[in-house]
Amino acid sequence: MQLLEERVSHMEEIIMKILYMQQEAQIELKDLRHLHKKAEERLERFEAKVEKMITEMKEENQKFKVIVEKAIAEMKEENQRFKDSVEKIVAEMKVDTERFKTNVEKTIAEMRKDFNKKWGELSNRLGTIVEDVIFPATKPVLEKYFKCEITDIHMNRKRKKDNLKDEFDVIAVSDPCKTVYLIEVKATPKIEYVNDFKDKKVERFKTLFPEYNNYNLVLIFASLRIDEDVVNYLTKNKIYAMAYKEWEYMDILNFDKLNQVRGE
């Protein structure tokens, strides 16, 4: 009996322990639920903060994007203004450069004209018009107009045959074109000089230079300046007039008109 009572008492202790442990478990479970609820609340608050931060970051990014786009637009406008300003400056510089170039060319042309005039007048006074003016220009002028290569050219050419003698200012020969150019130079062109050239000088040339009898003879009357009436007279007599053109360069003044008269 005593053993039974001891066993019963022991069982009661065990049951009490179990009930106590169950009670503690319920309390801990309740605490866990409470902690779980707090954790959920904290998690919700954390998520809310994160969402708020993300929203604020998006807003800040949008503001930054607007600022950057505005800055880029302003830079583009500034660059365009700078480009327009540079293009305007370049255009003005081109205009100024062209104006300067034109003025320089005009000044050089005027200086050249004045130099040619003074040089011609000096050569005229010194009697060296053939050497200084006509002879240096002969070959380029003839080749330019007549398109014939000058293969032989002489200045102040003298020749004597029997009792006949004469001196010719310039004789230019083109063997490929079978042409000889006889140039008479006068400091002061007059019609009487032209007549002496065509009526006497040419005949003396033909007699003194028979080697050119089978060559085409082209007559040229040259000076620094030739008045229009003398030019017209030369044209009428099929003689080319060579002189300065407005003191700029040596030229044949009646080339086209004389070719019309000659029917060329």
Domain extent for 248: 127-262
Answer yes or no: is 110 within a domain. Answer: no
> How far, in Å, CA of 193 to CA of 168, rounded?
14
SS3 184: strand
pLDDT > 70: percent of the chain? 72
**Per the domain annotation, does 119 fall within a domain?**
no
Percentage of the chain exceeding pLDDT 90: 42
Q: Are both 17 and 134 inside the same structural domain?
A: no
Residue 38 is assigned to a structural domain of this protein: yes
Examine the domain organization and report whether 12 and 57 are in the same domain: yes
Pair (137, 258) in one structural domain = yes
Residue 196 has pLDDT above 90, yes or no: yes
Domain boundary among 63, 91, 119: 91
pLDDT score at 119: 43
Does residue 103 sit within a domain?
Answer: no
Give the pLDDT confidence score for residue 90 in this predicted structure: 66
Side chain identity at 85, as an amino acid letter?
S
Cα separation, 136 vs 150, in Å, equals 13
CATH of residue 241's domain is 3.40.1350
Question: Where does the pLDDT of residue 116 fall: very low under 50, low under 70, confident under 90, or very high at 90 and above?
Answer: very low
Neighbours of 116 (CB within 10 A): 18
- Give the number of other CB atoms < 10 A from CB of residue 70: 10
What's the total number of domains in the chain?
2
pLDDT score for 101: 57
142 and 241 part of one domain = yes
* pTM score: 0.56
Please report the pLDDT score of residue 41 as a whole number. Answer: 73
Q: Of 2-11, 18-27, 121-130, where does the model show the most confidence? A: 18-27
Instruction: Please answer whether residues 230 and 185 qualify as being in contact, where contact means their C-beta atoms are separated by less than 8 angstroms.
Output: no
